[in-house]
Amino acid sequence: MSIAVELKVTDMLQVAFIRENKEDIIARLAKRNIDATEMLNNAIALDEDRKALQTKLDNKKAESNSISKEIGNLFKSGETQKANLLKEKTIQLKEITKTLEQELNDKVNILTELLYKIPNVPHKSVPKGGSEEDNEEIFKEGEIPALHSEAQPHWELAKKYDIIDFELGNKITGAGFPVYKGKGARLQRALIAYFLDKNTEAGYTEYQLPHLVNAASCYGTGQLPDKDGQMYHDSRDDLYLIPTAEVPGTNVFRDELLNETDLPIGITGYTPCFRREAGSYGAHVRGLNRLHQFDKVEIIRVEHPNNSYKAFDGMIEHIKAILRELKLPFRILKLCGGDTTFASALTYDFEVFSTAQDRWLEISSVSNFEAFQANRLKLRFKNSDGKNELCHTLNGSSLALPRVLAGILENYQTENGIKIPEVLVPYTGFDIIS
RNA sequence: GGAGAAAUGGCAGAGUGGUCGAAUGCGGCAGUCUUGAAAACUGUUGAGGGUCACACCUCCGGGGGUUCGAAUCCCUCUUUCUCCGCCA
């Protein structure tokens, strides 16, 4: 199915932006190691064609409209013969408009499909780079604990204390679908409740969202067409299992026209996330490091464009505060162009140090999408001039469960068992797993 | 699953073939009044394409059809509501 048909996209706002900022866009997309010159030129050329066709068609329609009006008047004044003569003429016009319409449609489809493949333009501050090697560490905090000599990675601990069963998940579903048991399950639930509480305290409204979404929602946030194949898809009903709460959460605002005073909006929600992770394998995907199904609490913001980067900073501080409370050593990376996701203009990743694995684990990703998603979502607000303007959208994990859990298990392990971070004890009801 | 009703601008809600992009109300914006605000009154206010600006074109849930002409008639899909049935 064509994308344009799926989404009824007629909005060409993006092309106007491309035309005016072509050089700047090319320079910035170069940070993603993409040479967009040809793509942008194509888009502009296609749009020129589109306009020409549109004008031609419009003129034919105008002609046809005025004749119809005339016919109406002739019938009223009883000049039937004249009217019938004119009818002949409109029939010819109809043929012409029909072909033009078809041509225009095809053109729009090609253009729309092209536009959907252009990723967001990175923020000025984003470093150029092709892979995670080029990410910039911009912040680091917390002490890396000195573990006892028998310290183990979390998958060994999970087995030892019988709190996560990877093999059982294998039987029931397949690899990457672990089963949490006993205190493991309880700890998981505690973390979810704790994160949601922290987020609502910070002013986010809690939502419970659908775990399956339609294709339009996936286009809205940019998972389609970019991530087709990475999502689980039910072809019978053409629904996708959500890869993140970002998709249903941001699509709450699809096709909305807000008042300026409605902004900012912040929502939070817990959902499981489903990812096919096609193509990933190896030692780094052991245990909880990479799963097909995992839990995550997400925060999502809709902001006035003038305020979105300030809001971004606020989200970073919010997540810092949570990690401080959990007393986990963490660092923040500014992602380089190549590592920044398709829809994002600026992304910071939070990583927790896993002492037993001696490596950093990504536990949160905070992004400002600027108007990229809003353009696809048709999410606008009426500004003080009375004009409709695109909002900015942001989101971040607050937080992703499995690796936080891995970090806790590994960093809090002692010879007597795994201690529970103080702030979680009210939620778990126990203070050690032994 | 069965029967019926409905889908119109930011919201509510009129409109059954040309004079309808669409009454009216609310909301928004501007003004009068006020020290300021509220109330009241006056004016203004759908979206997109296109243009230097006009003109012009498109949009009344989606798609298709009838007609010279469709918000209005027909078909179809989707969604919502009411009643009945079933059910965690």
Tens-digit pLDDT profile for residues A178-205: 999 999 999 999 999 999 999 999 999 9
Half-sphere exposure of A343 (CA within 13 A, CB side): 29
Report, in ranges, which bases of strand B sit under 7 Å from a protein C-beta: 10, 18, 28-29, 45, 47-51, 56-58, 62-63, 68-69
Name which residue leads in pLDDT, A236 or A27.
A27
Is A423's pLDDT higher than 80?
yes
How far does the CA of A86 sit from the C1' of B60, in Å?
29
Nearest nt (C1') to A15 (CA)?
B49
Which amino acid, one-letter code, is at A152? Q
pLDDT for position A414:
92
How far does the CA of A94 sit from the C1' of B58, in Å?
16
Is A16's pLDDT higher than 90?
no
Q: What is the pLDDT of residues A31-85, one digit of tens each?
A: 999 999 999 999 999 999 999 999 999 999 999 999 998 888 888 777 888 888 8
How far does the CA of A5 sit from the C1' of B52, in Å?
34
Which amino acid, one-letter code, is at A185? A
* Assigned CATH topology for domain A3-115: Helix Hairpins (1.10.287)
Is A12's pLDDT higher than 70?
no
Residue range A397-406: mean pLDDT, rounded: 94
Same CATH fold assignment for domains A3-115 and A132-433 = no
Question: Domain segments of chain A: what residues?
Answer: 3-115, 132-433
> What percentage of chain A reaches a pLDDT higher than 90?
59
Instruction: Give residue for tokens 């103080």.
Output: A422
Q: What is the pLDDT of residues A253-275, one digit of tens each?
A: 888 888 888 889 999 999 999 99
Is A378's pLDDT higher than 90?
no
Is A99's pLDDT higher than 60?
yes
Residue range A84-98: mean pLDDT, rounded: 84
pLDDT for position A1:
26
How far does the CA of A110 sit from the C1' of B17, in Å?
37
How far does the CA of A262 sit from the C1' of B27, in Å?
14
DSSP one-letter string for A244-312:
STHHHHHHTTTT-EEEGGG--EEEEEEEEEE---TT--SGGGTTTTS-SEEEEEEEEEEE-GGGHHHHH
Is A93's pLDDT higher than 90?
no
Homologous superfamily, domain A132-433: Bira Bifunctional Protein; Domain 2 (3.30.930.10)
CA-closest candidate to residue A312, choices A360, A377, A264: A264
Task: Count Cβ atoms below 10 Å from residue A13 Cβ, excluding itself.
Answer: 10
Average pLDDT across chain A, whole number: 89
Identify the three-state secondary structure at position A132.
helix
pLDDT for position A40:
92
pLDDT for position A169:
93
pLDDT for position A279:
63
pLDDT for position A282:
60
Highest mean pLDDT among A13-22, A65-74, A271-280, A325-334: A325-334
DSSP state of A130: S
Is A160's pLDDT higher than 90?
yes
pLDDT for position A337:
94
- The protein side of the strand B contact, defined by CB less than 7 Å from any of its atoms, consists of A 8, 10-13, 16, 47, 51, 54-55, 57-59, 61-62, 64-69, 71-72, 75, 87, 90-91, 94, 257, 259, 382, 386, 388
Nearest nt (C1') to A97 (CA)?
B57
pLDDT tier at A216, thresholds 50, 70, 90: confident
Identify the three-state secondary structure at position A12.
coil
